[in-house]
């Protein structure tokens, strides 16, 4: 007999979402996946800027980029520059448990929805401001997007090959990481809320979040005062750890994590003579002679097809992975087994596929709903939250 499923951890939590683009919506997406009721406030006739992003080829008329970040949310259309709509938003705020905004610093206050007002009318509210550089400091009013944060936090300086220009990571990683940190801070702040208060203000910057994520690799700089250089696909502390081309043209990434893995790696490659080689027998020696060893390994991988190396490396339990494009990554049999890709019925786009939440819980499961159309839930939310009629937008 199947055990009954429990409610999601954030069931019953109401989130007022005043965010757009990536960082803020990723934060509220995580809250929605955990069961929170997320009400997204959008400009009438315009909505989140991602609704107007250039569509993918062959997808004209679809809001695919927006849809990737806004499933399981409700959309309410309010013009926060109008006093009447500000008043409605303030009443919604009184009913909320969480408010998340990623306006430029000071904008929420000018709209009558800043922290001081919010805390006064709803002492239980957890209020999160997510911005590029934080609400204070010399950069507080500078605009920032993901590439700017990647540049300023140093990640571009270590991305790319030694003889290349600094490179940006090909995904908005700073946006995603700051959204994750914001969701983490919000969930923890909610644990302190009581019936009589306990709400608090969270000031989270993309710059701080990215540096926090990079901190585990900044020991060299923090302790020794030096900055690492670009190493391409290599690891500064471990050799071999690189990407190599196989005989049939595929690229494979491997890492020999410790001394215990060196012997089985050499045996998998049929090169037992490397095990006690005077220049390769220890990790410090391999790091010292990385260029020579990498050249030997590259030539060896090029001698046989990828399937051969897959079998040998798996037998020896060496960490490896083929370099996939997005299509191959999504078609991976392990991804299919985990059920990560979900299909939703969108009111305009029909069936759409999204990457679902990566966690699996034994007693709960996500109950995803399609991304909303602009203003789709205005009347519903006003009725259920405020017992008020809908809005007649001109």
Annotated catalytic residue, options 33, 87, 175, 248: 175
d(CA 68, CA 73): 12
How far apart are the C-alpha atoms of 365 and 360, rounded to whole Å? 7
Q: Would you state the torsion angle of the CA atoms of residues 285, 291, 296, 301, taken in this order, to the nearest 10 degrees?
A: 110
Separation between Cα atoms, residue 273 and residue 295, nearest integer Å: 16
Residues 41, 35: Cα–Cα separation, whole Å: 18
Question: Is-catalytic flag, 175?
Answer: yes
Q: 66 and 51 in contact (C-beta within 8 Å)?
A: yes
Cα dihedral 346→348→351→353 (10° resolution): -70
Task: Order the strands of the 241-245 sheet from edge to edge.
Answer: 241-245, 251-255, 319-322
- Give the DSSP letter of residue 160: S
Active site members = 175
């Amino acid at each position: 007999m199947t055990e009954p499923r429990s409610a999601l951890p954030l069931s019953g939590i109401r989130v007022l979402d005043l965010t757009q683009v990536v960082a803020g919506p990723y934060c509220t997406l995580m809250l929605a996946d955990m069961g929170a009721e997320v009400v997204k406030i959008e400009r009438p006739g315009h909505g989140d800027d991602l609704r107007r992003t250039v569509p993918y080829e062959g997808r004209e008329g679809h809001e695919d980029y927006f849809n990737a970040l806004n499933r399981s949310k409700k959309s309410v259309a309010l013009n926060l520059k109008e006093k009447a709509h500000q008043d409605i938003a303030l009443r919604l705020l009184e009913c909320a448990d969480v408010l998340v905004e990623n306006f430029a610093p000071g904008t929420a206050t000018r709209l009558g929805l800043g922290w001081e007002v919010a805390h006064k009318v709803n002492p239980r509210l957890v209020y999160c401001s997510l911005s590029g550089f934080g609400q204070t400091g010399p950069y507080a009013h500078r605009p920032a997007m993901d590439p700017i944060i990647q540049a300023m936090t140093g990640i571009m300086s270590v991305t790319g090959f030694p003889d290349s220009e600094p490179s940006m990571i090909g995904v908005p990683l700073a946006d995603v990481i700051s959204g994750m940190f914001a969701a983490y801070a919000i969930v923890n702040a909610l644990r302190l809320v009581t019936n009589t208060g306990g709400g608090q203000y969270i000031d989270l910057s993309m710059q701080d979040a990215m540096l926090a994520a990079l901190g585990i690799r900044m020991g060299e700089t923090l302790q020794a005062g030096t900055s690492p250089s670009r190493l391409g696909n290599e690891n500064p502390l471990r050799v071999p750890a690189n990407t190599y081309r196989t005989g049939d043209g595929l690229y494979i990434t491997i890492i020999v994590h410790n001394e215990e893995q060196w012997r089985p790696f050499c045996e998998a490659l049929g090169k037992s003579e490397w095990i006690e080689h005077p220049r390769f027998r220890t990790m410090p020696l391999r790091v010292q002679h990385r260029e020579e060893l990498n050249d030997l390994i590259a030539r060896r991988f090029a001698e046989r097809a990828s399937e051969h190396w897959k079998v040998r490396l798996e037998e020896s339990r060496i960490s490896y992975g083929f370099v996939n494009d997005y299509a191959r990554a999504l078609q991976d049999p392990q991804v299919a087994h985990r059920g990560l890709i979900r299909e939703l019925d969108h009111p305009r786009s029909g069936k759409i596929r999204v990457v679902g939440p990566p966690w699996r819980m034994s007693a709960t499961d996500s109950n995803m709903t399609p991304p909303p159309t602009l203003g789709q839930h205005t009347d519903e939310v006003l009725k259920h939250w405020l017992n008020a009629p809908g809005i007649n937008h001109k």
